[in-house]
Each structure stands twice: as C-alpha cells, then as structure tokens.
C-alpha cells in the first residue's frame, strides 16, 4: 500500500490571507452630512452647530468612521472639522472620504504593520480567492512590503500558484 504524501504541506510555503488585514464591517461606520443640509443643498452653520450636540454619537463608538456627503453639495472644510471634534473622542479613527476609500486606507495601514523580517527567505503565497473582497491595492502593498525579504512570492493557492517574484 502506497502512502499519500502532502507535498504542499511539506513545501514550507506560507499562505498569507489578505482578508485578515481588511477591517470587518462591524468596525466601520459612516457619518453622512446629508441629513444636516437645508433642502439637501446648503449647510447652514447655525443649524448644523445646533444639530451636532443632539446627535446620537454612540453609534460611532469604537468604529472607524468615514465622513462623507451622499448628495452633491458644497461643504465648507470647517464642517468636516467640526464633525470630527464630536467623533474623535469616541471613534477609533475618523476619515474623510467614501467607505471604500477608508477601507482601502485601513487595509493598507494594517499591511504596513507586517513584520516583513518574519518572512525572510520564505516562500510566500498570497491567497487569491475568498469570501471577503480584497482591494487591489492590498496586493500591491503586500508585494511592496515583502519583496525585499522573501525567497519567492506567489499568488493563488499553494496547490496552484502564479509566480510573482523569485529572489535571484
């Protein structure tokens, strides 16, 4: 009887799943300025200043919050600053832009925290498929981070990879 050998397990390949670097949906929230606009067009300073203290800020507690305006309106910069002063004490972080831009930024920052020296002369495959959508920039960021250290960098699954980089 012949023994089945798992060559993938014996190869020493390290699989890196980028979904672990993306923030979870439970960690994210959006603060939309639209409800504070007069006729969804104009931000009135007096009304805005009066509305902020009575807003329920607890929904943003320990969340990464993106500030945005979901309608086409001219928003003065001070309005973003003022909203930030209410969010900053309770939110994990505050970001100006779309939810996707914030997710991209947070994913990139999490990848930057990788201790690349741990991958010195290792064979690393970046997982290519999964249930969590991964922004393309994450693949670029991890390649930039690991290439100076790894023996080889691949994309896909350990049983079927696309070679990306090999140290010469």
Residues 43 and 97 in one domain: yes
Helices and strands (DSSP H and E) totals, the chain: 5, 7
Query: What's the structural domain count of the chain?
Result: 2
Mean pLDDT of 18-45: 94
Mean pLDDT estimate for the chain: 92
- Among 103, 126, 141, where does a domain finish? 103
Query: Measured between alpha carbons, how far is 19 from 79 in angstroms, rounded to an integer?
Result: 34
Residue 146 domain boundaries: 7-23+113-166
Q: Which residues face 152 on adjacent strands? A: 123, 166
Q: Residue 8 pLDDT more than 50?
A: no
In Å, how far are 46, 151, 167 from 148, measured between CA atoms? 54, 9, 9
Q: Which residues face 153 on adjacent strands? A: 124, 165
Per the model's pLDDT, the better-predicted residue between 157 and 31 turns out to be: 31
What pLDDT is recorded for position 130? 76
Query: Measured between alpha carbons, how far is 167 from 46 in angstroms, rounded to an integer?
Result: 61
Residues 55 and 88 in one domain: yes
Mean pLDDT of 148-159: 91
Binned at pLDDT 50, 70 and 90, residue 132 comes out as confident
Mean pLDDT of 96-105: 95
Structural domain includes residue 1: no
Binned at pLDDT 50, 70 and 90, residue 3 comes out as low
Indicate the SS3 state at residue 18: helix
Residues 37 and 83 in one domain: yes
Pairing of the two strands 152-157 and 123-127: parallel
Indicate the pTM of the whole model.
0.82
What pLDDT is recorded for position 80? 98
Residues 37 and 74 in one domain: yes
């Amino acid at each position: 009887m012949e023994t089945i050998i798992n060559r993938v397990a014996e190869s020493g390949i390290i699989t890196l799943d980028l979904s672990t670097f993306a923030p979870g949906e439970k960690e994210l929230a959006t603060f939309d300025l639209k409800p504070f606009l007069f006729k969804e067009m104009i931000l009135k300073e007096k009304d805005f200043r009066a509305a902020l203290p009575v807003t329920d800020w607890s929904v943003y507690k320990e969340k990464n919050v993106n500030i945005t305006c979901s309608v086409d309106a001219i928003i003065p910069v001070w309005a973003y600053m003022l909203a930030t002063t209410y969010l900053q004490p309770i939110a994990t972080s505050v970001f100006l832009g779309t939810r996707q831009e914030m997710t991209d930024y947070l994913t990139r920052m999490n990848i930057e925290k990788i201790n690349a020296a741990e991958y010195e002369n290792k064979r690393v495959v970046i997982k290519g498929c999964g249930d969590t959508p991964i922004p393309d920039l994450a693949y670029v960021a991890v390649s930039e981070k690991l290439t100076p250290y790894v023996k080889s960098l691949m994309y896909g699954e350990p049983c079927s990879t696309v070679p990306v980089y090999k140290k010469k």
